Amino acid sequence: MLDIADDLLEALGEGRRLAVATVTTVDGSAPRALGTSMAVDDRGRVLGSISGGCVEGAVYQAAEGVLETGEPVLAEFGFTDGDAFAAGLSCGGRIEVFVHEIAMSGARGRLGDRVVHELKATRDRRPAGIAVVVAGAAVGTVIAATASATEVERDGLDLATAQRILHELTARVSSGLSGTVDIECDGEPLRVLFVVAATAPRMIIFGAVDFSAALADASSLLGYHVTVCDARPLFATSQRFPSADEVVVAWPSEYLRTTPVDERTVICVLTHDEKFDIPLLSLALGLPVAYVGAMASRTTHERRVRALEDAGLSAAELGRLHSPIGLDLGGSTPQETAVSILAEVIASRTGSAGVSLRTQTGPIHRTEAARTESASTVSTGAARP
């Protein structure tokens, strides 16, 4: 839906009913990605494309049926040995498509204001996300990233499932990764398609060291756009950091001053050099980013905090600094340290205390308030990589 947000908003604004077909699964070689959509309105007009032409006719017929009956359809398209002339993918792949009705009013396919908000956010090039139940209870339900669990519950899902879906959706908007997930709802399987429209969040790593290489590798796997920055051209090379999207040779604070950041950006300072660290952290802690962490021993951390205080940083700004960086996982290698850093980044984003699940009770996927309440009863140690 989000890839044709402009067209959908225009048609919905005209009062049209639409059947939206969205790719939920892609196997083999297929021309369009998961989450790609095509819509047919109640006048027969087609918006978008899901396969470049090879299955559009069959999808169009499915969409007409959905507009007639109001019942959603989950269909599969691809070449088979038994029927080479059936609607299929000329490139030999297979796609699964979910078709459901949407409209601004009426008993069938009604969209809430929050879903429209996500469409408008996509149109305006802002991060957005929706979840669509494609199989199981409340099939056809469309959930916005900005919805509350109680709002989702009114669509026919239990509260725990609603919280689980919203938690997953929030994480996927943050990472920029669409996907289909199977979720259990009252003991029954529920299949949910998560579609997000967002550029990958940035992971900016300062310091071209072994720990940085491991952190770049792990961050790339989590969907971050990874930048490694160091003032030393001998160390800041693409050969040393093959998983980084870009390797920049620049004075760290000057680079950070000019590069774009947002509320999803993660900044990790692994340089261990005060001539870089102090001006860099002085700047970073005043920016509207998701996370600022710095590697240090206890002694280095205390000396660094005093230097930052002398530089004029407030207690609130210093309170944003994750140092020594990472959760206390007991690891020591660069790879283990990378896991501990990213674990803290995730915990910081979700508001989790990062404690062992076996020490807690209740649902695993909970609201931030529930996590905070549970964590308040658990004692945690000092953070270190």
Q: What is the DSSP string of 275-326?
A: HHHHHHHHHHTTS--SEEEE---HHHHHHHHHHHHHTT--HHHHTTEE-S-S
Please, how many CA atoms are within 13 Å of residue 345, restricted to the half-sphere of its CB?
A: 30
- Residue 71, sorted as left (phi over 0), alpha (psi -120 to 50) or beta, turns out to be beta
The whole-number pLDDT of residue 290 equals: 95
Query: pLDDT, tens digit, for every residue of 218-253?
Result: 999 998 999 999 999 999 999 999 999 999 999 999
- Measured distance CA(196)–CA(226) in Å, rounded: 20
Pick the CATH number of 202-346 from 3.50.30.30, 3.40.50.460, 3.40.50.720, 3.20.20.70: 3.40.50.720
- Measured distance CA(301)–CA(278) in Å, rounded: 11
Percent with pLDDT over 70 in the chain: 86
Q: How confident is the model at residue 32 (pLDDT cuts 50, 70, 90)?
A: low
Q: How confident is the model at residue 360 (pLDDT cuts 50, 70, 90)?
A: confident
C-alpha distances in Å from residue 198, one per residue of 167, 170, 174, 293: 17, 12, 8, 24
Q: How confident is the model at residue 52 (pLDDT cuts 50, 70, 90)?
A: low
pLDDT of residue 39 exceeding 90? yes
Average the pLDDT over 316-336 and give the result.
Answer: 94
The whole-number pLDDT of residue 26 equals: 79
Average the pLDDT over 310-314 and give the result.
Answer: 95
Percent with pLDDT over 90 in the chain: 57
Q: How confident is the model at residue 363 (pLDDT cuts 50, 70, 90)?
A: low
What's the angle, vertex CA 8, arms to CA 5 and CA 11, rounded to 5? 150
- Residue located via tokens 């070689």: 29
pLDDT of residue 193 exceeding 60? yes
Query: pLDDT, tens digit, for every residue of 120-147?
Result: 999 988 889 999 999 988 898 999 998 8
Q: Phi and psi at residue 158, in whole multiples of 5°?
A: -70, 160
Q: How confident is the model at residue 105 (pLDDT cuts 50, 70, 90)?
A: confident
Q: How confident is the model at residue 107 (pLDDT cuts 50, 70, 90)?
A: low
pLDDT of residue 310 exceeding 60? yes
Average the pLDDT over 365-375 and give the result.
Answer: 48
Average the pLDDT over 100-110 and give the result.
Answer: 77
**Residue with the larger pLDDT of the pair 343 and 352:** 343
Max avg pLDDT among 79-83, 91-95, 188-192, 217-221: 217-221
The whole-number pLDDT of residue 369 equals: 46
- Residue 82, sorted as left (phi over 0), alpha (psi -120 to 50) or beta, turns out to be alpha
Query: pLDDT, tens digit, for every residue of 200-212?
Result: 889 999 999 999 9
Q: How confident is the model at residue 176 (pLDDT cuts 50, 70, 90)?
A: confident
The residue extents of the domains of the chain are 1-111, 124-198, 202-346
Average the pLDDT over 64-85 and give the result.
Answer: 74
Q: How confident is the model at residue 280 (pLDDT cuts 50, 70, 90)?
A: very high
pLDDT averaged over every residue in the chain: 86
**Residue with the larger pLDDT of the pair 28 and 162:** 162
For the chain, the first-to-last Cα distance in angstroms comes to 41
pLDDT of residue 83 exceeding 50? no
The whole-number pLDDT of residue 160 equals: 87
Query: Which of 231, 228, 264 has the alpha carbon at shortest distance from 244?
Result: 228
The whole-number pLDDT of residue 109 equals: 67
